[in-house]
Chain A
Amino acid sequence: MFSSILASGLAAGAIYALVGVTYNTMFSTSRVMSFTAGQLAMLGGVFGSLFTLKMGMPIVAGFVLTLIGCAIIGVITEFVAVRPVLKSLDQHLYVLSTLALALMIQQVAAIKWGTEPQPFPRLIGWGSGVLDEKFWLPVAACAITIAALEYLYRRTLVGRAFLAIAEDNFAARALGLPERNLRVASYALAGIIGGVAGFSGGELLLAFFANGALLNFYGFVPVALGGLGNNRGAVIGGLALGLFQQAANFLVGGIFSSVAVFALFIVVLLAKPQGLFGASTARRV
């Protein structure tokens, strides 16, 4: 049982971590937490199943098209729900605009794709039991994504520009960085990461429209615990959440694992609103 807890916990945790990184990627350039993060991961599964099973494309082509589709949704998020409200001083507006877009995505998926979970293809066909690919694939995807992001942020000019914008938006603009284009790019990148999360987790979560709302919450928990914009915190928090949830799931049953996760979330946030790894809040007066 221990090995199944470990396998399913790490797999679910890796998906949560990737959704958390999706949140962070959008947050870093725009200071906006978007409700579309979980929907992007849901679409990763739905698009993947659509392209490979419904349309019969090869896995690789389906994967690439899925990522492109999710990147486009990411860019649409920026144009429709983020850009118009960024200028407004009223901070709560982005919660509403991204929520509205997320609901639209979910509703279209529910009507066009159906409200039943639909199968997702076996991608590689390696492993069985606790080493089944549906368990290790999300973990591998998470590791590769983090490594690629590290490379992007540390070694490439675009990545450093992202960091500059995240660190100090005004200074970056004063240096002549194309802030708006970088923001659009980061939303496309967030879309891709969300797509990877959904595609790699497709065998575990299936292609199901309601995954969006679920992943929105479970992906946000590691971000909240790890501190906004902190990818390391999101990965550690995500894996810990997955293990905790699956352990509770196996030991005391499904409902209580949800209650336990929710209670943990509330308690940690009440004790440390800025997250376990986050910096303290900005000055108010």
Chain B
Amino acid sequence: MTAVTATPASRATADMRGALPQLAPFLGILAVAMILPFVSNDYWALIGTRAAIYWVLVSGLNLIVGFAGHLAIGYVALLTLGAYTTSVLVAGNVMPQVPVFAALPVAAFVGAVFGVVVGLPALRLRTFYFAMSTLGFATIVAQIALAWQSVTGGGIGIVGPEFPSPFNTAWGYYCLCIAFAAVCTWLSANVAHSRFGRALIAIRDAEVAAEATGISKPRMLIAIFLFAGALAAIAGGLFASLQTYITPDAFTFDLSVLFFIAILIGGRGSILGPMLGTIILTILPEIAAPLAAWSTFLYAVLLLVIVLVMPGGIAALLDFRNRRPLASNRAIVPRPAALAGCLRKSAGDKALSLRGVTLSFGNVRAIDNLDLDVEPGQIHGLIGPNGSGKTTTLNVISGYYVAGAGTIGLGDGVLPPGMPTLRAHHGIGRTFQTPRVIGEASVLQNVMIGGTIDGQATFVEALLALPRNRRDERMLANRARALLGVVGLEALADVRADRLQHSELRFIEIARALMLEPDFLLLDEPAAGLSGDEIERLAALIVAISRRGTGLLLVEHHADLIFDICDQVTVLNLGRTLAAGTPAEIRVHKEVVSAYLGG
């Protein structure tokens, strides 16, 4: 018992030591921010305060743009909203006056609500559409601020809120804003480094795979829209106070551009990068005074240069770890024996059974009245010529396609048609014909994504880094490391996945799917692109997985692999079952030999 209670403390210090190199730049920036009051004048206090306020907004927006990959370009609208809400509440021109520290949370609430309203289109639309809807929202908020004179004062404006002493001096207010910025950094870093942050990147770069691991896009996105909206509105309240007097002119679209471009210059999926981007963009027009009028033009040029020349942004420049060359002659040596340590033995009483499944694309019957059973602990091979409906069958089971007729049963129940995000909860994992991994995330993070639904902590717990979230993180990381050991990639755990070879990506996908501890595992051509040795090792791994009670459905073109390891084989041709039986029966089946195997 004593040992158990003693470990968290020592592990916490170990965690701290591991995080120090990552933490150091932030502490450095904080130190510079703390020294600033002693070495400069009120002018720099103003610029520093402004940078801090911008960062309060950008730290939230970064999760949307940099992590989830949604191009929200009109975020000045939420800044405006927060600024007017705080100012109106404090000025008391509509209702009784409210102290500023009570007005800020109200503004945050309003901002969170509108953050979701603006974000809703992102649930169904991507890229340009979403960019446009945020742009449209920004236009409308500006018009309302101008026209709703009784509340906002119209073009004449309204007095910004004043903070009580000691925050009513230039440096006092500066310190307050820096404190806000530091807290926001901490919060957004917590989200970014939790399973929620990884899930956001997964939705961005590998949406289909994210669905297969059970990540629900709407819930993820709504959580960060609430968060980012609240931060933007708080930034608005601080901004209004800094301005002392706000008119709609104060909230030009140029500000939106600054926020957005700061993140892209900083680099996607990073926190330090966008922070540096925000600081640079805030200071840039100040040190080059003649350029002030051209600042937006300058930002736009920077954006174009970043997009065309350096898509990774500052974060990629600072990512020294991933510049070290990898060993070129590395071999993947899975250790199937280690599976026992990290994959529980499935109960193995339910079978996955397809009955009369039919799916048509237009006039083409991709699958025609297919019956198929995958028993627990067995390997079921699915072979057939190109276009015979193998991958389509997997996609129907995974819920990407809805079958026109027939049912997919799991044990005594029936899987709901469609709804790919529910498959992981039913214990069905899968890999893809073209590996769908997140290139910008590390190998370990990619595998950890597979266990997203096993996390216990809520978004708020992750936001505040409460114990349950830390436990989740340790559990996921340990399991992912163990599974990387099983597939033989533990040496590459911290490497960016896009630096790996194709065959390694295939094994990452298997490790990711195993994070679910699946009852059934669907493998789509896992041997494609692998060398002969690698195929042998893959076969041993697949067999070992089936020994743990997992039922496997294996789509493959390598006939040798299929006949070596499968317990059952189904041969498809033009969407129909051509033959089904044991490998020995199939090998001598006349039609199969003439239609597919040749010889």
List A residues at the B interface (Cβ < 8 Å): 33, 80-81, 84-85, 88, 90-93, 95-97, 99-101, 103-104, 106-108, 111, 213-214, 216-217, 220-221, 224, 254-255, 258-259, 262, 265-266, 269-270, 273, 284-285
Contacts and interface: CB of A to CB of B under 8 A. Distances in A.
Contact of B144 (A100, A217, A220, A255): A255
A88 B293 CA distance: 33
B128 A95 contact: yes
Interface in B217-270: 253, 257, 264
Interface stretch (B280-288, B304-312, B318-326, B373-381): B304-312
B124 interface: yes
Contacts of A254: 143, 147
Contacts, number: 116
Contact of A104 (B126, B301, B432): B301
B303 A259 contact: no
A36 to B, nearest CB: 12
Given A97-B304, A99-B300, A220-B132, 18 more contacts: A85-B307, A92-B126, A95-B128, A99-B303, A100-B301, A101-B300, A103-B299, A103-B300, A104-B301, A216-B132, A216-B135, A217-B132, A217-B135, A255-B144, A262-B137, A265-B136, A284-B400, A285-B391
Query: Which of B140, B300, B303 has the most CB atoms of chain A within a 10 A radius of its CB?
Result: B300
B300 A270 contact: no
A33 B125 CA distance: 14
B133 interface: yes
A225 to B, nearest CB: 11
Interface of chain A, helix or strand or loop or mixed? helix
B490 to A, nearest CB: 29
A104 B443 CA distance: 39
B127 A91 contact: yes
A111 B290 CA distance: 13
A134 to B, nearest CB: 22
B300 A100 contact: yes
Interface of chain B, helix or strand or loop or mixed? helix
Query: Which of A81, A214, A285 has the most CB atoms of chain B within a 10 A radius of its CB?
Result: A285
Contact of B208 (A96, A221, A273, A284): A284
Contacts of A265: 133, 136
Contacts of A84: 308
Nearest to A255: B147
B62 to A, nearest CB: 15
Contacts of A80: 304
Contacts of B124: 269-270, 273
A175 to B, nearest CB: 24
29 contacts: A95-B131, A96-B306, A96-B307, A99-B131, A101-B304, A103-B299, A103-B300, A104-B301, A104-B304, A107-B296, A107-B300, A108-B297, A111-B293, A214-B139, A217-B136, A221-B136, A254-B143, A254-B147, A255-B144, A258-B140, A262-B133, A262-B136, A262-B137, A266-B133, A269-B125, A273-B124, A285-B395, A285-B398, A285-B400
Interface in B389-424: 391, 395, 398, 400-401
